[in-house]
């Protein structure tokens, strides 16, 4: 059984079509089909059900998938270990959400020489699965990591309300949009310098990322603890979209990103304490380069300190 055949099998299981798997592997579709058929013949069982909707794992295929992933991971790990022994280096892959990549990990890599060869974007709820399935060496995420992984908190970022000035009838763009005049149903938002109490956002249309984000989770929990009924809406796809909509007078963006589109920005507090989102690093404690990962994470934590206050 060749490693290439296992790579084809894993790719088809992930993409659920032979054509998409072949494209991801930069090979032809017939080549993938032949290898899958050969693997099924060698194992003596069907690994996929061929349906109009695509390739679906059979119970045998689902059982074989973690075995194939483990074999491929061990092969890659062995190669990485031996190369590391020869030049005393490792090359790590980081999985993280797009916002974390843009504002944290990518700038960090641009300033520090660290043993990282790639960063891969995934939704917040997926990043730790990438480590568990051994497609990444370390994950940087905003949700709490699973107990099976070693974890370390690298960063706390304050939640910010952006676009409040449009609701106060102030500034050059105060006349933009119907929401820009007179404040929200709770009345005008008071000017409080660099912060605003969560209670003052009640009744305002808040632009918040969709379910699954730590930001939305933090805001919802603080709202429930404070006995507030905030208008979180259905959510938007990203902080950048929230900021753009806020700039157009569609609501108040609740984000962790730096202000954009000329928006004002205030920290959100509850009882005077800022609401924070935590970023975690997580990795397999049995990873061959666990010591290097801990060093990398410590370096990232030090780099982050004081940058996102």
Asked whether the predicted pLDDT for residue 184 surpasses 50, the reply is no
Span 26-60, pLDDT tens digits: 999 999 999 999 999 999 999 999 888 889 999 99
Q: Indicate if the alpha-carbon torsion angle 50, 55, 57, 60 is positive or negative.
A: positive
Q: Indicate if the alpha-carbon torsion angle 112, 238, 279, 285 is positive or negative.
A: negative
Would you give the end-to-end CA distance of the chain in angstroms? Answer: 53
* Average pLDDT estimate for 256-275: 89
DSSP state of 234: S
Tokens 């800022």 identify what position? 274
The pTM (predicted TM-score) of the whole model is 0.63
Q: What is the pLDDT of residue 167?
A: 61
The band of 87, judged by pLDDT with boundaries at 50, 70 and 90, is: low
User: In angstroms, rounded to a whole number, what is the distance separating the alpha carbons of residues 33 and 182?
Assistant: 64
Backbone angles phi, psi at 100, to 5 degrees: -65, -40
């Amino acid at each position: 059984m060749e490693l290439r055949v296992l790579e084809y099998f894993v790719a088809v299981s992930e993409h659920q079509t032979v054509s998409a798997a072949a494209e991801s592997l930069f090979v032809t579709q017939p080549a993938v089909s032949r290898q899958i058929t050969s693997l099924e013949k060698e194992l003596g069982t069907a690994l996929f059900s061929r349906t109009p909707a695509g390739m679906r794992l059979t119970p045998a295929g689902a059982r074989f998938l973690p075995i194939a992933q483990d074999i491929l991971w061990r092969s890659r790990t062995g190669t990485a270990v031996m190369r590391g022994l020869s030049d005393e280096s490792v090359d790590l892959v980081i999985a993280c959400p797009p916002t974390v990549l843009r504002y944290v990990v990518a700038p960090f890599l641009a300033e520090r020489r660290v043993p990282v060869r790639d960063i891969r974007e995934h939704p917040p709820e997926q990043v730790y699965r990438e480590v568990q399935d051994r497609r990444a060496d370390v994950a940087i995420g905003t949700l709490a990591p699973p107990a099976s992984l070693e974890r370390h908190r690298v960063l706390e970022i304050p939640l910010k309300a952006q676009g409040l000035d449009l609701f106060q009838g102030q500034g050059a763009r105060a006349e933009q949009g119907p929401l820009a005049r007179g404040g929200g149903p709770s009345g005008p938002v008071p000017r409080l310098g660099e912060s605003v109490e969560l209670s003052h956002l009640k009744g305002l249309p808040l632009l918040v990322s969709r379910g699954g984000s730590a930001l939305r989770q933090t805001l919802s929990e603080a709202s429930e603890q404070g006995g507030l009924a905030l208008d979180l809406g259905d959510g938007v796809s990203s902080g950048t979209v929230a900021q753009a909509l806020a700039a157009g007078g569609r609501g108040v963006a609740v984000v962790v990103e730096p202000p954009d589109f000329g928006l004002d920005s205030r920290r959100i507090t509850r009882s005077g304490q800022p609401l924070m989102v935590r970023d975690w690093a997580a990795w397999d404690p049995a990873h061959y380069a666990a010591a290097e990962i801990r060093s990398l994470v410590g370096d990232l934590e030090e780099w982050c300190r004081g940058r996102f206050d």
